[in-house]
């Protein structure tokens, strides 16, 4: 099958065209994009690679799974519902799942992820579903609209739901951005670079002004949350290592340095590691620099991350 993977981008492109048409409009997924990336995609499109195509197809599988679960639960819904701005044909959105009631309507956005822990939805997700909710309300002002982001990891089975309240101020700011994107797309104009976690996957990143020269110092909100999360996890690891060391010392205090025990619950083995002799590289470098340099070998560098 591997030799056919190069066909996946075309399969995804055909599926997208069948579902969304020629995309000659501004959609919900567009308004959450970086302006610069959106305009470059329209003017200088780059075909996605097979790996990206697989991720997009995985998203379709997550949607299908959610649809089948809601159907099995007896829920009535419409899928892939297209919504247009009542006055502006070029502003639209497509809702994954729409649940209609007499006075309340629910909008569900399905997201496929490869993580097993997500304390909060990404900012772009919240913006996307707010845009969908807002367009629906413009067409149905009498209805109350509720939003839900459904997260699914197809590999591990991890799932999570996030309730999203409609934010009218956010919606209007996204409407303004939609108009701005449309005007620049149709009439020409430079797009503003808007850093986010999605920059990691952007094919236009190499020439982005944010990351050139001494740039890269503007941190998106999502990344700040990730940095704080990383710092807290590292603290927990350090604390757990300290606790593990204390427990190890308690066990050895009982067993001594030569002990074995096995039952259905645990297998425990304690043994002494013999003393070792190690090379004093600093002393060798100082007293015999020629010998030291003769036996140096390259070590691959790495990216160091320090968050305090």
Q: Where does the pLDDT of residue 20 fall: very low under 50, low under 70, confident under 90, or very high at 90 and above?
A: low
d(CA 237, CA 244): 10
Domain boundaries, the chain: 2-217, 227-294
Mean pLDDT across the stretch 232-257? 92
Mean pLDDT across the stretch 248-255? 93
Distances (CA, A) of 91 to 125, 138, 148: 18, 12, 22
pLDDT tens digit sequence for 78-114: 999 999 999 999 999 999 999 999 999 999 999 999 8
Report the predicted TM-score, pTM, of the whole model to 2 decimal places. Answer: 0.75
Q: Where does the pLDDT of residue 228 fall: very low under 50, low under 70, confident under 90, or very high at 90 and above?
A: confident
Would the pLDDT of 214 be above 60? Answer: no
In 10 A of CB 171, how many CB atoms? 20
Q: Where does the pLDDT of residue 213 fall: very low under 50, low under 70, confident under 90, or very high at 90 and above?
A: low
Would the pLDDT of 215 be above 70? Answer: no
pLDDT tens digit sequence for 35-78: 999 999 998 888 888 888 888 888 899 999 999 999 999 999 99
Q: Are 245 and 227 in contact (CB under 8 A)?
A: no
For the domain made up of 2-217, give the CATH fold: Lambda Exonuclease; Chain A (3.90.320)
Structure token pair of residue 108: 């569900």
E runs forming strands in the chain: 78-84, 92-100, 104-112, 144-152, 159-164, 259-262, 267-270
Structure token pair of residue 303: 């990216």
């Amino acid at each position: 099958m591997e030799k056919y993977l190069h066909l996946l981008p075309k399969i995804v492109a055909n599926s997208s065209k069948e579902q969304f048409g020629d995309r000659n409009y501004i959609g919900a997924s567009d308004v959450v994009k970086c302006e610069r990336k959106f305009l470059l995609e329209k003017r200088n499109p780059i075909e996605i690679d097979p790996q990206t195509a697989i991720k997009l197809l995985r998203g379709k599988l997550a949607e299908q799974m959610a649809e089948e679960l809601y159907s099995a639960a007896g829920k009535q819904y419409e899928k892939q519902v297209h919504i247009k701005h009542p006055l502006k044909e070029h502003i639209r959105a497509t809702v994954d799942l729409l649940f209609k009631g007499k006075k309340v309507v629910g909008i569900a956005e399905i997201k496929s992820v490869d993580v097993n822990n997500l304390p909060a939805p990404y900012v772009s997700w919240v913006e996307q579903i707010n845009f969908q909710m807002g367009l629906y309300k413009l067409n149905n002002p009498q209805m109350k609209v509720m939003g839900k982001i459904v997260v699914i990891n197809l590999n591990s089975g991890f799932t999570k739901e996030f309730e999203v309240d409609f934010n009218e101020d956010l919606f209007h700011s996204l409407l303004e951005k939609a108009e701005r994107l449309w005007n620049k797309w149709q009439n020409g104009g430079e797009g503003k670079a808007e850093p986010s976690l999605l920059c990691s996957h952007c094919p236009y990143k190499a020439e982005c002004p944010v990351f050139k020269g001494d740039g890269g110092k503007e941190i998106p909100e999502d990344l700040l949350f990730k940095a704080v999360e990383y710092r807290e996890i590292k603290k927990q690891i350090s604390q757990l290592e300290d606790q593990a060391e204390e427990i190890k010392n308690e066990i050895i205090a009982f067993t001594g340095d030569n002990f074995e025990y096995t039952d259905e619950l645990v297998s425990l083995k304690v043994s002494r590691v013999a003393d070792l002799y190690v090379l004093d590289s600093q002393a060798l470098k100082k007293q015999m620099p020629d010998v030291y340099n003769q036996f140096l070998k390259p070590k691959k560098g790495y990216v160091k991350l320090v968050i305090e």
